[in-house]
């Protein structure tokens, strides 16, 4: 919680907007480093497990790694000037903290988290034949003390069922951003960088380069960054969703998870998590395990990143994002 008097905050925001807007408007933010995180990993954290235990035995950690490796290669190919940093390139376990640290240490400008979803399976039953069972018809003979119970066996034919897990019908790719109420966690990540925090403008004013984020003014500044990160996260998430829409698979939209996604909050940069598909949907599982599917996903995400880069680096984007406070 930030304890700043509302009036003071208002004044400060006004001052800040007058002071900073020209700096934001005139220089452009370059997308220099992208961090690609293959979700899960190692024997300790396989992630979700596929549906076809006998044929594919697929594990989320392997799918995320295969897609991430292809995504890294595709990003390097399409954006040769951008530094692409994977959190892992082999089947190793990493603590989420370690992943966030890697991203923060290389001063990433964008964090792409690759995952695969799974949904709850319902139980179905089907008739596989019939079988005979013996039942008993009970009758009574006589009256009073002499009353006798007579059990007469008879055969009936009943259906024989087999029970099985119904394949998941849900399929497609969804994109996740950190929940708005979790902004304070994002603030902590930003404020941790206090001191050597690079201002959004790239080659900014030297006065801003050693900004102290622990001061009340600094906290407001950090809050502004958190807001900008959220806007940018939403922008890249929307672009990924749009690119998925252009494929034959379903795009499930941009979502905010109520339960926080820790790694998205701990990274000091715009961050999204992509649930590439449902590992326990038969069709998605085949797609996620195929070279073709993995490559398509890598290209889809890359196309979104290329568009994102163009937008954030264009003059237009800088001026539209500051129109609210820029006098024309």
Binding site for Zn ion (CB under 5 A): 39, 47, 115
Buried b (16+ CB within 10 A) or exposed e, 42-75: eeebbbbebbeeeebebbbbbbbbbbbbbbbebb
CB of 17 to Zn ion, least distance (A): 39
Residue among 47 and 293 whose Cβ is closer to Zn ion: 47
Contact 253, 269 (CB under 8 A): no
CB of 36 to Zn ion, least distance (A): 15
CB of 255 to Zn ion, least distance (A): 14
Contact 64, 298 (CB under 8 A): no
CB of 96 to Zn ion, least distance (A): 11
Residue among 220 and 272 whose Cβ is closer to Zn ion: 272
Residue among 39 and 86 whose Cβ is closer to Zn ion: 39
CB of 40 to Zn ion, least distance (A): 6
CB of 184 to Zn ion, least distance (A): 24
Distance CA 264, CA 225 (A): 15
Residue among 115 and 232 whose Cβ is closer to Zn ion: 115
Contact 289, 58 (CB under 8 A): yes
CB of 130 to Zn ion, least distance (A): 44
CB of 119 to Zn ion, least distance (A): 13
CB of 41 to Zn ion, least distance (A): 10
Residue among 64 and 241 whose Cβ is closer to Zn ion: 64
User: Would you say the C-alpha torsion 19, 325, 241, 263 has a positive or negative sign?
Assistant: positive
Residue among 115 and 186 whose Cβ is closer to Zn ion: 115
Distance CA 268, CA 186 (A): 7
Distance CA 207, CA 16 (A): 13
Which residue number has the CB closest to Zn ion? 115
310 three-class SS: helix
Residues 6+ apart with CB under 8 A from 144: none
Residues 6+ apart with CB under 8 A from 295: 70, 74
- CA 247 from chain centre, in angstroms, equals 19
Residue among 47 and 50 whose Cβ is closer to Zn ion: 47
Three-state helix/strand/coil letters over 201-258:
CCCCCHHHHCCCCCCHHHHHHHHHHHHHHHHHHHHHHHHHHHHHHCCCCCEEEEEECC
Contact 114, 274 (CB under 8 A): yes
Task: Specify burial of residue 92 (Cβ count, 10 A radius: 0-12, 13-18, 19+).
Answer: middle
Residue among 243 and 275 whose Cβ is closer to Zn ion: 275
Largest CA distance in the chain: 110
Residue among 274 and 298 whose Cβ is closer to Zn ion: 274
């Amino acid at each position: 919680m930030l304890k700043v008097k509302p009036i003071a905050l208002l004044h400060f925001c006004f001052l800040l907007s007058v002071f900073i807007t020209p700096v934001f408007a005139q220089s452009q933010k370059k997308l220099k480093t992208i961090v690609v995180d293959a979700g899960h990993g190692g024997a300790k954290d396989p992630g979700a497990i596929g549906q076809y235990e006998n044929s594919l035995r697929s594990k989320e950690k392997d799918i995320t790694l295969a897609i991430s490796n292809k995504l890294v290669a595709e990003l390097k190919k399409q954006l040769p000037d951008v530094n692409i940093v994977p959190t892992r390139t082999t089947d190793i376990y990493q603590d989420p903290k370690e992943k966030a640290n890697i991203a923060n240490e290389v001063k990433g400008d964008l964090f792409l988290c690759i995952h695969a979803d799974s949904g709850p399976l319902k139980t179905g039953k089907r008739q596989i034949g019939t079988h005979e069972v013996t039942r008993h018809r009970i009758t009574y003979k006589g009256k009073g003390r002499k009353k006798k119970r007579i059990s007469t066996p008879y055969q009936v034919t009943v259906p024989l069922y087999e029970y099985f897990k119904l394949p998941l019908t849900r399929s497609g790719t969804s994109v996740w951003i950190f929940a708005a109420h979790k902004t304070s966690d994002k603030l902590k990540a930003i404020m941790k960088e206090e001191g050597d925090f690079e201002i959004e403008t790239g080659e900014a004013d030297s006065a801003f380069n050693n900004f102290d984020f622990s001061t009340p003014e600094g906290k407001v500044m950090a809050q502004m960054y958190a807001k900008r990160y959220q806007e940018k996260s939403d922008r890249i998430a929307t672009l990924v969703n749009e690119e998925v829409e252009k494929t034959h698979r379903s795009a499930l939209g941009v979502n905010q998870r109520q339960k926080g996604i820790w790694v998205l909050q701990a990274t000091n940069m715009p961050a999204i998590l992509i649930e590439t598909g449902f590992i326990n949907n038969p069709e998605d599982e085949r797609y996620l395990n195929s070279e073709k599917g993995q490559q398509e996903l890598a290209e889809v995400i890359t196309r979104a990143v290329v568009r994102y880069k163009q937008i954030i680096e264009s003059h237009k984007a800088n001026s539209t994002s500051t129109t609210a406070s820029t006098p024309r």
